[in-house]
Amino acid sequence: MRLKGKRILITGAGRGIGRAVACQAAREGAWVALNSRTESELDVLAATLRDEGGECLVTPGDIGCEETVRRIFCDLRRTWGGLDGLVNGAAIFKRGLIRDMVLSDFQEVMRVNLIGPLLCAREAFGCMLPGGTVVNISSLSGVAGVQKFEGFTAYGLSKFGLVGLTEMMALEGKILGIRSNCISPGAVDTGMLAEAAPGLVPFLEPTDVADVVCFLLSAESCALNGANLILDGNSRTGGAGKP
């Protein structure tokens, strides 16, 4: 198992891509720390993973809050002694045209989708040994030249920022022996997609994304640092997703 004994924190683990990553990582031998704001979802997932023989911790909380992130990492250091991997998967979506943008909505998206990963990375860099890995989950919404959708301004900007953050993390983590990479999936069959773009046809399942995340967490991806892997999934149907 390529992640055997690796201690990995996954944010946004209660549902969608984050949940799929947690399940896949546990099956590959990782010890997984599960984070989201909805503790009940984490409890259900933890029970399932433990029934399958997995080792897991439930670490609920809002990763956009500095004090909460410090508490989560303090718990991880006390319980596991540190961390080997971090998956920044937590994200929210709020629709809004630029001309109607509510500043508080914009700030909330940035707080969770961009500041949260930065706070987690800051703490992770302080407790990872050489060989540690970080995977940021962005989106095609944060990739230049790809089709965009009205009302996605806050979400798209947060994901552009996450791609840029990954490059800086790769640069500054290199001296610490920590690699940071990013993935930018297209339409994935999740509740967030159904809410954000109900007419968009998904080409990817959460498990498809989880496979790539676990590859990036493993030593198999040792040659990659600062990469942004685009997952469009269009080869399944031969066309682009359309609303």
Give the catalytic positions in this structure.
155
Query: How far is it, in rounded angstroms, from Cα 62 to Cα 116?
Result: 8
Query: How far is it, in rounded angstroms, from Cα 183 to Cα 175?
Result: 22
Residues 6 or more apart in contact with residue 175 via CB below 8 angstroms: none
* Helix or strand (DSSP H, E) at 183: strand 179-185
Query: How far is it, in rounded angstroms, from Cα 230 to Cα 232?
Result: 6
User: Token digits for 28?
Assistant: 């590959």
| Longest pairwise C-alpha distance within the chain | 51
Residues 6 or more apart in contact with residue 208 via CB below 8 angstroms: 188, 231, 233
User: Token digits for 67?
Assistant: 């004090």
* Of 206, 114, 195, 118, the residue nearest 160 (C-alpha): 114
State the burial class of residue 10 (Cβ atoms within 10 Å of its Cβ: 0-12, 13-18, 19+): buried
